[in-house]
Structure 1
């Protein structure tokens, strides 16, 4: 009775049957398997998809930027909030780890949460990650609140301005949460888990399920029991896989001619991996399923770019915008000049040809106006600035000098061209 009373608030506030079941240790049944975010991560395809997207977000540089006139922006590496994103979100979690944890929560449960911890004077000093199972959003009137259960059992309540709520796509009918990927695709994940457990059971039991024994003279119920016990001891498990069986009373060992290939287990495993990759929007070759992929080259390269653009980018935007609106809230109708953003220029780093062509054009190659100085280019590639007095000037041909910049012309070449 006490348990029912204590859990009543959770049930009333949650409004999500799947979340309630998960809170009490339950989950959906699919293909004979219990599918929860934890059991789903036991499937290699789910593990790779989730860690791949979360890892891509963790490795993507993120920082605080200032809006400048003309639509440009300036990165503020010395801003006090930069340490939350690049160094440490709190005493136990680094900045990149914080982004990774939130991304994994979004992938599996659709929602990631963090508490914005403030001192008495209002100064933010920590961003504390909380497992989604310990957070319950609810409405009190028209205000959205969050109920948080700490590890020591202490319960805290926060309004929405004090909570970072990172949402995946869609939302539940009550608008409290985003949709859960695992909940909505439990069947696809359950098929993969069931197929994996079935094939693993073949090795565990030693004998295949299509093995059978016949006795010419028949056997009694006691003999049948003794024979089953004998099989378990002599033929069950990998360690007994090669032990010979001693058959008596005219016993004959036979096998139904249905192989793993005939049962299409291999095809089912491959299909399950591709189906899970489809759910998370990951190209199959990136999780090791290369059967239908093109050769390494332009096709794979374009898929990799598409992965970041169509699979990772939406999650990055959701995370950056939630950080921006909570760390730099809109006052009245005026938005802050500061915001959080990911820097995608690192994506060119793996393609030396692309980055060289980009920098050549940025420096004013082919006698066209440039938009980047030599030192700007050196910073992009991680090199120290040059001491050349012209290294901070932007090149422009005659008649195209940028406002406020001295005109820089190339020196005249002398001698024969080689």
Structure 2
């Protein structure tokens, strides 16, 4: 019994080391099942991030979210005493966020990777590299499926263990940039792939059914009926003949049946199963898990991405699809990458003006309203249109002859008489002669 227990302990230890090295999660961690397979599915499909990303809908949603967010300018700003903000170009974190996250990646590559991990695993991790004074000089992305997060029961601090190629890297909370998705405990975000595994499993099963249907030449629901029992040589000869008509490449060939052989149908054909409709419905279902409008990934049925609705669709996508992710990223930057003193002065912000830009007519109407009502200057309009500033374009004007706001209320009618030099009053105008008239004879 002692030998059996010792052997069992050694086996469990070896399996635990293998699981930790492979997934970053130990066998005693309840998240192991979610990382490996996402749990059981009704369709019988094994749902993982690698399997789900092979669905065109999942790929399109993840790519749209990650590339759109990564393409938005992200800058560090400093609050000013007059309630305004300026770009904090002199802060060390500015270049890390905007120009050089690390030595190997450009900003769009780095943020695209972080957001892709965030929208699939529900978490995005990065190893923070600092100087001796504590300022951030680089952030290296880490795969969430290889990360284990634990809280020390004594100190209450979080410990991050990262497994990679058989090695383990233990990082303190100050060395991790962690962006969390929607969560129930605030410690780790929930993975949309794991939570939505039933919907994704159904979509995978539909794709598998469609693939097998085409592989077999659309004849998966048909069979050949023999008139009598066949002996082994006859079975082999029949299989050899039918092999010439199997597969999608042979679809359309008409087999020659002899000796009373018949073609029979069994079950439902793809049309009766509504296979195409099922696959189309799966697109809308999966889009719900990522809060992406189906039309934005090419689902054009009963909708369009052109015309006057494009601006409203972009606005809807920004408010309900992108904004929660943008705020999570910005607040994670403040929490993980700024010191407590800097958090009072500096903050990170995405520039979403490019997504909110309407067509030329809509932008012109907005600019005209802003200029005529005095809440936008000419240089602010020129900056949005990537035009150089004008020396006289920093004055707020209103519609009344476009005068400066400081001149509102001043007399607009100037006196018609001008003072003479020296400060003397002007001479009296000539008086008409009252003694007579030019017509008097």
Return the TM-score normalized by structure 2: 0.80
Q: In 2 relative to 1, CA 120–70 (structure 1 residues): closer, same or farther, beyond 3 Å? A: closer
- The answer as to 2:60 corresponding to 1:48 is yes
Matches within 5 A, 1:17-36: 17-19=32-34, 21-22=35-36, 26-30=37-41, 31-36=43-48
Matches within 5 A, 1:263-274: 263-274=273-284
Which residue in 2 is equivalent to 1:80?
92
**Is the CA contact 2:70–2:111 (under 8 Å) kept in the aligned structure 1?**
yes
- The answer as to 2:154 corresponding to 1:156 is no
Which residue in 1 is equivalent to 2:426?
none
User: Structure 1 residue 17: deviation in Å?
Assistant: 3.3
**Is the CA contact 1:138–1:176 (under 8 Å) kept in the aligned structure 2?**
no
Root-mean-square deviation (Å)? 3.0
Q: Could you say what secondary structure the match of 2:207 adopts?
A: helix
**Is the CA contact 1:14–1:138 (under 8 Å) kept in the aligned structure 2?**
no
Choose 1 or 2 for highest CA Rg: 2
Which residue in 1 is equivalent to 2:239?
228
**Is the CA contact 1:54–1:104 (under 8 Å) kept in the aligned structure 2?**
yes
Which residue in 2 is equivalent to 1:390?
392
- The answer as to 2:149 corresponding to 1:137 is yes
**Is the CA contact 1:328–1:336 (under 8 Å) kept in the aligned structure 2?**
no
Q: Could you say what secondary structure the match of 2:46 adopts?
A: strand
User: Structure 1 residue 138: deviation in Å?
Assistant: 0.9
Q: Could you say what secondary structure the match of 1:216 adopts?
A: coil
2-side partners of 1:209 and 1:61: how far apart? 52
1-side partners of 2:222 and 2:19: how far apart? 52
- The answer as to 2:194 corresponding to 1:186 is no
Out of 333, 348, 370, the position equivalent to 1:340 is 348
2-side partners of 1:221 and 1:263: how far apart? 36
The C-alpha deviation readout for 1:164-221, integer Å capped at 9, x for no partner, is 111111235xx53111101111111111111111111112122512112112234235
Out of 360, 363, 368, the position equivalent to 1:355 is 363
Which residue in 2 is equivalent to 1:415?
none
2-side partners of 1:406 and 1:3: how far apart? 82
1-side partners of 2:312 and 2:99: how far apart? 32
Return the TM-score normalized by structure 1: 0.84
Q: In 2 relative to 1, CA 229–406 (structure 1 residues): closer, same or farther, beyond 3 Å? A: farther
Q: In 2 relative to 1, CA 391–295 (structure 1 residues): closer, same or farther, beyond 3 Å? A: closer
Q: Could you say what secondary structure the match of 1:69 adopts?
A: coil
User: Structure 1 residue 85: deviation in Å?
Assistant: 2.3
Range with bigger deviation, 220-229 or 156-165: 220-229
Q: In 2 relative to 1, CA 196–161 (structure 1 residues): closer, same or farther, beyond 3 Å? A: same
2-side partners of 1:28 and 1:400: how far apart? 68
Q: Could you say what secondary structure the match of 1:102 adopts?
A: helix
Which residue in 2 is equivalent to 1:112?
124
1-side partners of 2:207 and 2:386: how far apart? 46
Which residue in 2 is equivalent to 1:168?
181
Q: Could you say what secondary structure the match of 1:81 adopts?
A: helix
Structure 2, unaligned runs of 5 or more = 1-10, 414-441
Q: In 2 relative to 1, CA 112–70 (structure 1 residues): closer, same or farther, beyond 3 Å? A: same
